[in-house]
Amino acid sequence: MSIIKFIFSKTFVKQLVLAFIFLILLIFLVKWWLGSTTNHDERIAVPNIKGMTLDLVDQELSNVDLRYFIIDSANYNPNYPKYSVIEQDPEAGKFVKENRQIYLVLNPSGFRKITVPENLIGRTRRQVEPTLKALGFEVGTITYIDHIGEDEVRGLRHKGKSVSPGDRLEKTSVIDLVLGNGKGSYRDAFNDDNDDTDG
């Protein structure tokens, strides 16, 4: 039998049809197997875990077969509890596969501490206030004492206690200013300066 006659024979056509059917079945079987082993179309909605502590996060994610990994601690955010989640990736509501890892950013225990700079005493209020605010402090109560230098900073206080250059306070701490009222004499100012130097 020649090749041309074989190609147009019923036997060859049957084998061709059977091979085509087998190929289609094989494709469907492979797709089904991949779908079952990779959880294809089995998606889990990521829960909102912002504001939760790690104990609650662990419980919440375990319930939906997800894992977590802490990638960083951000700047302290007073709107969230200490050591709670302030960022998550993927975001809440996104759909992911089972056992997916959720990346977390935690809230630290408090604001970082900042050093009170040198040379604030003796400068004017207009000079000191922007310096303190630029560092992240807040300026609180202004009180005046008798001193010849009007609006000259004579002292710094935090929660009623005296603050010295080099002290470390948390960012956003409120610092009260003690200013001169422009009254007094040069002799008093000289004595005050000596007292500051001795102390």
**pLDDT single digits (tens) 156-181:** 999 999 999 999 998 889 999 999 99
3-class SS at 44?
strand
Which residues have a Cβ under 8 Å from the Cβ of 115 and sit 6 or more positions away? 166, 167, 168
| Same-domain status, 186 and 118 | yes
Q: What is the mean pLDDT of the chain?
A: 84
**pLDDT single digits (tens) 48-57:** 999 999 899 9
Q: Which pLDDT does position 199 carry in this prediction? A: 42
**pLDDT single digits (tens) 59-97:** 999 999 999 998 877 678 888 888 899 999 999 989 999
Which residues have a Cβ under 8 Å from the Cβ of 15 and sit 6 or more positions away? none
| Same-domain status, 120 and 149 | yes
Of residues 9 and 54, more confidence is placed in: 54
Beta-carbon-side half-sphere exposure of residue 64 (alpha carbons within 13 Å): 23
pLDDT band at 188 (very low <50, low <70, confident <90, very high): low
For residue 69, being part of any structural domain is answered with: yes
With 50 as the cut, is the pLDDT of residue 198 above it? no
Which residues have a Cβ under 8 Å from the Cβ of 153 and sit 6 or more positions away? 120, 121, 122, 123, 124, 125, 128, 177, 178, 179
For residue 170, being part of any structural domain is answered with: yes
| Same-domain status, 50 and 101 | yes
| Same-domain status, 50 and 91 | yes
What's the rounded Cα separation, in Å, for the pair 3 and 185?
124
pTM above 0.75, yes or no: no
| Same-domain status, 164 and 100 | no
- Which domain, by its residues, includes 128? 113-198
For residue 132, being part of any structural domain is answered with: yes
With 70 as the cut, is the pLDDT of residue 47 above it? yes
Number of domains forming the structure of the chain? 2
Matching residue, tokens 């939760």: 52
Using the 8-state DSSP alphabet, how is residue 32 labeled? H
3-state helix/strand/coil string of 112-170: CEEECCCCCCCCEHHHHHHHHHHHCCEEEEEEEECCCCCCEEEEEEECCEECCCCCEEE
CATH of the domain at 141: 3.30.10.20
Contact 92, 78 (CB under 8 A): no
Selection from 62, 57, 44, 58 nearest residue 98 by Cα: 44
Between strands 101-106 and 85-89, the pairing is antiparallel
| Same-domain status, 88 and 124 | no
Instruction: Calculate mean pLDDT across residues 111-118.
Output: 89
